[in-house]
Structure 1
């Protein structure tokens, strides 16, 4: 870990004082390595010299690691000794599993990809934005396949309306111009992650960002014309270098994104509704029928879109119903999951 050249190379991988400050003096002989991919039974890593081995202890589980994690490994055996605290963590609740599924760690910017066709869905985009805000990462909506849409500007306008000052870019994932458009978020040492449903061009965009000389090209697939749905061409999360600097994490296509325990993320995304709710006459206003409701007044005046209010209500209810709660007598509480 000593030496300015090693430190500089690590910084190109995303290493910063946030991680360096966590290393104890007794761990100075351990090697910082970044998790590049997570498989069912193994991890792959990178360090300042390139690809690096990562061996898990006998009692360790790959499910506890996310692509983008920083770990300290024994340089002789490659055994992971400790995972460092994460700066940001993208995770999602799944129907089939208890708890959260780790998606990516230490991500600076989340590119939320959707295409200008039947895949475009405001409710789904809001879920991704909530995920980004809850994780503490910066969201950017990436509209793909605009060259095939006669009304791409309408998609752009709808996306811009989701949140004030939300970055929304329009591009062709196959064009080298995409690299220049996304350059503000892809600097040296910066990490971006790509999320979106299958068929929107995530893997194509990863390949474009990585450049033609990349030896880690992602497979790409076709989409069905009638509903714009595609096949899952990415089956595992992985970290790829961006030509000219930075790193990009591709993720498998997500058809359903549930929200759980994300009240803070919802409040950030729907800050306009939260501000209005503070002006209601009653503190426990449900914003349905109470007199003096500022939220309903905003709907009536056209200031607030009724459909947006409906999506906010649905997300709050889903988050509450899916969030684990503690129940039982004092000193013997258990975690219970509500059924949605």
Structure 2
């Protein structure tokens, strides 16, 4: 909050939302991706890049951050049966809207406009080459963001966008264009995962045992739902994987924070001792 007459009295406001991940590599660090976002457009193409598991990861992050996730399925003009991709995206969660479009032309402005209101901030997240920058250009009504075509052999994109950039739409909405992320490790996202897999959570309360792991326990409502075809077994396996990954990463990062805090305390103690001796 800027105080133009007394700049020293200005203050930094608390974030309203934050998306973060465990940073790539072996170092126990976390990386902040985007903050103060109202709507997250999770972008995926109708090609080999499309993966339900990746969409679920992005959606879990958005739910954890209390942002509104919207799945945007692009390049529908390049396949004969885009409906298969659309239905797979809709199966991620019944709480998430799915928009299918060709990123070129007027479709992005007309179909995404309901979330791009004046005073709002939206962000595009997804792999390289799915059309995030093309969508951003369409909303901005310009070609200010560089784009590239994907590789033909594996449908993977090239890293054209190398940094996060915030742009203003003509109507006053802000658009965050982000680089593609090849690795998306969850951390501190347990609530977001539970929100995403609300169907499993609703079934779990009907299990005989409160701590049911849904593996081989008797009278397990989740396993019963799989046997009856109500729940997809692959969805349960993806839920287990995300929960285990989040628990491991959260514990690892908490351990690092605790160690860094102890080290900082020791450094302050040494400095204080030196000042006393002086």
TM-score range, shorter chain: 0.7 to 0.9
Indicate the larger mover: 179-188 or 81-90. Answer: 81-90
Matched-pair contact (CA < 8 Å) for 1:324–1:335? no
Q: Could you say if the C-alpha distance between residues 251 and 80 of structure 1 is closer, same or farther in structure 2, counting changes exceeding 3 Å?
A: farther
Which residue is 1:221 aligned to?
Answer: 148
Following TM superposition, the consecutive aligned residue runs of length 4 or more in structure 1 with deviations greater than 3 angstroms are 27-31, 79-82, 333-336
Does the CA contact (< 8 Å) of 1:115 and 1:145 recur in 2? yes
Matched, 1:287 2:214: yes
Correspondence for 2:239: 312
1:85 correspondence with 2:14: yes
1:69 is matched with none
* Secondary structure, counterpart of 1:323 in structure 2: helix
Which residue, 195, 204, 209 being the options, matches 2:139?
209
Secondary structure in 1 matching 2:32: strand
SS at match of 2:117: coil
Give, in angstroms, the shift of residue 29 of structure 1.
3.8
- Provide the rounded CA distance (Å) in 2 between the counterparts of 1:168 and 1:220: 24
Partner of residue 55, structure 1: none
For the 8 Å contact 2:3–2:9, the answer to whether it is kept is no
Whether contact under 8 Å (1:299, 1:306) holds in the other structure is: yes
Structure 1 partner of 2:30: 100
Q: Aligned partners of 1:267 and 1:173: how far apart in 2?
A: 32
**Corresponding residue for 2:177?**
250
The residue that corresponds to 1:265 in the other structure is: 192
Deviation of the 1:335 alpha carbon: 7.4
Which residue of 202, 210, 214 maps to 1:275?
Answer: 202
| Runs of 5+ consecutive residues of structure 1 not aligned to the other structure | 1-22, 32-73, 328-332
The count of residues paired between Structure 1 and Structure 2 equals 257
Counterparts in 2 of 1:133-212, with a 5 A limit? 133-212=63-142
Q: How does 1:1-12 map to 2 (within 5 A)?
A: none
Name stretches of at least 5 consecutive residues in structure 2 with no aligned partner: 262-278
In terms of fraction of residues, the more helix-rich structure is 2
Aligned counterparts, 1:11-160, within 5 A: 28-29=3-4, 74=7, 82-96=11-25, 97-160=27-90
Q: Could you tell me the TM-score, scaled by structure 1's length?
A: 0.72
In structure 1, what is the equivalent of residue 267 of structure 2?
none
Mapped partners of 1:282, 1:222: distance in 2 = 52
Deviation at 1:173, TM superposition (A): 1.0
Give 1 or 2: higher strand fraction: 1
Cα deviation for residue 100 of structure 1 reads 2.0
Structure number with the bigger relative contact order (C-alpha 8 A, sep ≥ 6) is 2
SS in 2 for 1:195: strand
Q: Take 1:81 and 1:227, find their aligned partners in 2: how far apart are those partners? A: 50
Aligned to 1:301: 228
Deviation at 1:84, TM superposition (A): 1.3
Mapped partners of 1:150, 1:100: distance in 2: 41
**Counterpart Cα distance in 2 of 1:173 and 1:80:** 45
Structure 1 residues 148, 103: CA separation in 2 closer, same or farther (over 3 Å shift)? same
Q: Distance in 1 between matches of 2:205 and 2:172?
A: 44
Aligned-pair CA distance for 1:81: 5.7
